[in-house]
Chain A
Amino acid sequence: MRAPVRLLLASLLAFAAPALAQRDAGVHVSIQPDHGSLAPMVSASGVLDDPQFQELMKNGFPVQLHFRLELWRTGGLFNELERSTSWDMFVQYDPDPYQSAYRVLRRNGKLREDFGALPSLASAQAILARPYRVSLAPARAGTKYYYNVVLDVESLSASDLSELQRWLHGDLQPAVRGRANPLSALKNGIGRLLSRVLGGAKRSYEATSPTFVAPRR
């Protein structure tokens, strides 16, 4: 192998290792009985341990946690995605030196939940670690299913803040997304590479539940 390639690989491993090695951090999905049915409970632990997220929060950028829960059906040749749902949580650090606090918010469809002022990052993480019941029930009783949850943790950029601001003030419609962006693929790609490989402000986690049989109602 040539020297530049070796150098590239070594750099990738050196930079990627800490990025990939968020110790004990992750998203979790479990299934619990709920009024004669089974309900998925989703939680996240340690996802804000990353010093880079903490630094960005201290500089006023909220962290967005985008959850997507998928319900997969087994039994055929391929597993089928039956339904999915998604929701967001935001963690914001209050920069006021006399009121230092974290704020955690959840947005799930018509639900808006403000967990109030929290004295520390640990208490904010405790909110994230609290199992959250999601309404995503199987349609076919007696069929085997499992849940797959994906969590993208990302520091919000200044432009993203406007959408959060609208939501915080009660506007139900999110900001228009998908506006054509003239930035090139190279810039986006390198930005993505740098932010993800070099320990940047985006992390993705994924977990699956055990397979279960949907109960008859």
Chain B
Amino acid sequence: MRRTTLTLALILVPLLLHAQQRDSTLHRRALPRDIAQRVVRLYNASGTLRAQGPFDVDSGRKIGGALAVLDGPLTIAGHVAGDVVVINGNVTVTETARIDGDLLVVGGEVAGRARGYVGGEIRIYRDELRYVRRDDRIAVADSGGEEDAWWRRFEPRRDASGSKFQVASAGVYNRVEGLAVNLGPQVFYDFGNGSAQLDGYAVLRTASSFRSRANDVGHNLHGELKLGTARGVLIGAGAYNLVAPVESWGLSSLETGLAAALFRRDYRDYYEQHGGGLTAGVFQGLNNRFTLSYADEHWTPRTANNAWTLFRSNVAWRPNPVEDAAHLHLLDATLELDTRTDVENPWAGWYLMAQLEHGVGHMDSLGITDATRAYPNGRVNYNRAFVDARRYNRISRGAQLNLRVVAGGWISGDPLPLERRLSVDGYAALPGFAFRSPQGGEDVSTCTYGTIPSGYPAQCDRIALAQAEYRSDLHVRLFDWDEDSWLRPHFRADGAWVVFLDAGRGWLVGDRGGPMTYRSGEMPALSTFRSDLGAGLDFDVFGIYVAKALSTAGLPARVFVRFQHRF
């Protein structure tokens, strides 16, 4: 037993001593070596005024070059025309202080850094410099090479350019493609004052690309050159064969994809977009841009496939409407302005997206609509506009009133192709009404009358939607038991409670007399708009709401979940 104890002691004592040594080493870590060398270089520089111990630069005094203080502290009330280096000491900056260069402090802190003026950079390192004296100069003490390990992980990567092979989702999970996957290379190049990027992808579709009898593989080749970083100009070009949504301004892509993949409910309609185009524009930041684009596109209707879903797999998908087949030249002007305090959780600011499109070309075949459309010799020439404007207003520390207007549709020319028609429908627009449902009287949401075309397409020439919501902070704390309880089930969440009101409708443009049809200069009476009222709890990550139709009696209240704010 004694021998065993002795053996254990012989093993453990060195280990304990080593552990203790490690612990003490931990607190004596030196500066990163490159910083230490920079400090020493500045201190030893021939033009530097060197001082040791407490040092003051009085108000009214001017030092023409750099100042280095070893084992400070340093108080600056005067003017230093160069850099200031303080080694192993604190710095106090007063309101009259002026440093034209950098302020570099190692082994100390800076008090009053916001009071005085520092023209250059302020760098503060709390670790002390371990140095040795050589006459009036200093050198870095040997740090044993331990420090480089941490810093080596952050070696600057100068390879701002590169390439990679992408395998990534190419769009929203939907009933036409299933999951679309981009497969191909991406090359990018940063040149300091701008960037260039080239992408070339094959687009594989899980619902159709792997069937032996079909060759349904799309492509997306895109190149973009940006001149400027914070602001500048951009030009781009692309060639593509993609499945595109008819309308995408409603539910977010996340929510649309989840509803499709989980519950077999697809809230968008799709068509094939095959062609190429050019884009040029200006940008400021990430969210403000104005672009002009030209595209030459072939549009082809697509049918729904039996895409896999997690639930309700025995239920048929809603058919994808038969859209128009056309060959069009499209000229688009798009403006995006965003002054919101935060893109995801804005308290205040504007968001504006406005688009103007001129389309000219040939209609090869027409999809099914209730209203008769005529294109002489198959030629089409139309103009269309779309605006989504939002204003976020903070009315107190914990409440806000947000407003949104969405409007758009035909401006002039021939009737819009089905791919450019609109609806005011679904949980993002009028959640008090069922999606694609004639309930509620005349279907002013999709402008459908008579026999409902397969897939229930959006047919409106114009739409208008207004939304308002009041949000207020909500603090929930449920089952928050005592800290010392063995079990502490609790649910705590900070979110918002929301009350909202929506009103909107779509209509057709033409001679009066037809259903839901108004002249070009007319707008339907507000009393004909669908409206709903609702409330909910929004926890940022998700929100749960209930909405009740106001304009139509007898419709049940509808409960729904959103994975982002309503707008």
Contacts and interface: CB of A to CB of B under 8 A. Distances in A.
A166 interface: yes
User: Which one of B114, B115, B127, B180 has the highest number of Cβ atoms from chain A below 10 Å of its Cβ?
Assistant: B114
B356 interface: no
B542 A184 contact: no
A98 B186 CA distance: 40
Nearest to B540: A204
B293 interface: no
A187 B169 contact: yes
Contact of A193 (B126, B153, B179, B254): B254
A184 B156 CA distance: 30
A147 B149 CA distance: 41
B563 A176 contact: no
Interface stretch (A41-49, A50-58, A74-82): A74-82
Interface in B138-153: 146, 149-151, 153
Contacts of B497: none
Interface string A173-184: 001111110111
A192 interface: yes
A12 B312 CA distance: 19
A72 B118 CA distance: 28
B121 to A, nearest CB: 5
A128 to B, nearest CB: 14
Contacts of A101: 26, 29
A23 B149 contact: no
B176 to A, nearest CB: 14
B405 interface: no
A78 B296 CA distance: 46
Contacts of B263: 4-5
Contacts, number: 218
Contact of A114 (B126, B157, B170): B126
A9 interface: yes
Contact of B22 (A13, A98, A103, A116): A98
Given A111-B113, A115-B126, A190-B254, A84 B341 contact: yes
A205 to B, nearest CB: 8
Contacts of A4: 262-263, 310-312
Contact of A116 (B127, B154, B182): B127
B345 interface: yes
Nearest to A147: B397
B52 interface: no
Contacts of B126: 114-116
Interface string A135-179: 100000000001010100000000001101110110110011111
Nearest to B193: A176
A96 B150 contact: yes
B124 interface: yes
B383 to A, nearest CB: 28
User: Which one of B27, B118, B201 has the highest number of Cβ atoms from chain A below 10 Å of its Cβ?
Assistant: B27
A88 interface: no
Interface in B239-276: 252-255, 257-258, 262-263
A117 interface: yes
A17 B542 CA distance: 12
Given A179-B188, A182-B166, A192-B254, A197 B542 contact: yes
B542 A79 contact: no
A216 interface: no
Given A103-B150, A171-B156, A186 B173 contact: yes
Given A17-B491, A115-B126, A116-B125, A146 B397 contact: yes
A190 B564 CA distance: 12
User: Which one of A16, A119, A135 has the highest number of Cβ atoms from chain B below 10 Å of its Cβ?
Assistant: A16
Given A19-B541, A79-B395, A117-B26, A182 B254 contact: no
B156 A78 contact: no
A186 B172 contact: yes
B561 A9 contact: yes
Interface string A192-216: 1100110000001010100100000
A44 to B, nearest CB: 15
**A interface, size bucket:** 35 or more
Contacts of A94: 149-150
Interface residues of B, number: 90
B201 A77 contact: no
B427 to A, nearest CB: 13
A162 B120 CA distance: 23
A160 B517 CA distance: 54
Interface string B114-136: 11001011111111000000000
B342 interface: yes
Contacts of B150: 94, 96, 99, 103
Nearest to B560: A5
A60 to B, nearest CB: 7
B197 A180 contact: yes
B168 A187 contact: yes
A178 B398 contact: no
B3 interface: no
Contacts of A74: 396
A13 B491 CA distance: 9
Nearest to B286: A178
Given A169-B154, A177-B286, A79 B490 contact: no
Contacts of A117: 26-27, 29, 127
A50 to B, nearest CB: 14
Contact of A179 (B195, B347, B394, B491): B195
A119 B172 CA distance: 46
B40 to A, nearest CB: 16
A81 B154 contact: no
B121 A114 contact: no
Contact of B154 (A119, A168, A179, A197): A168
B127 A9 contact: no
Contacts of B561: 5, 8-9, 12
A70 B125 CA distance: 28
A112 B542 contact: no
A12 B124 contact: no
A170 B311 CA distance: 53
Given A20-B539, A169-B34, A177-B286, A185 B124 contact: no
13 contacts: A5-B561, A20-B492, A68-B342, A74-B396, A99-B29, A110-B122, A111-B123, A119-B23, A150-B342, A166-B157, A169-B156, A184-B182, A186-B254
Given A19-B541, A96-B150, A184-B168, 13 more contacts: A5-B561, A98-B22, A115-B126, A119-B23, A135-B114, A148-B347, A171-B156, A176-B195, A178-B286, A180-B222, A185-B253, A187-B169, A189-B252
Interface of A: 1, 4-5, 8-9, 12-13, 16-17, 19-21, 23, 35, 60, 68, 70, 72, 74, 77-81, 84, 94, 96, 98-101, 103, 110-117, 119, 133, 135, 146, 148, 150, 161-162, 164-166, 168-169, 171-172, 175-180, 182-190, 192-193, 196-197, 204, 206, 208, 211
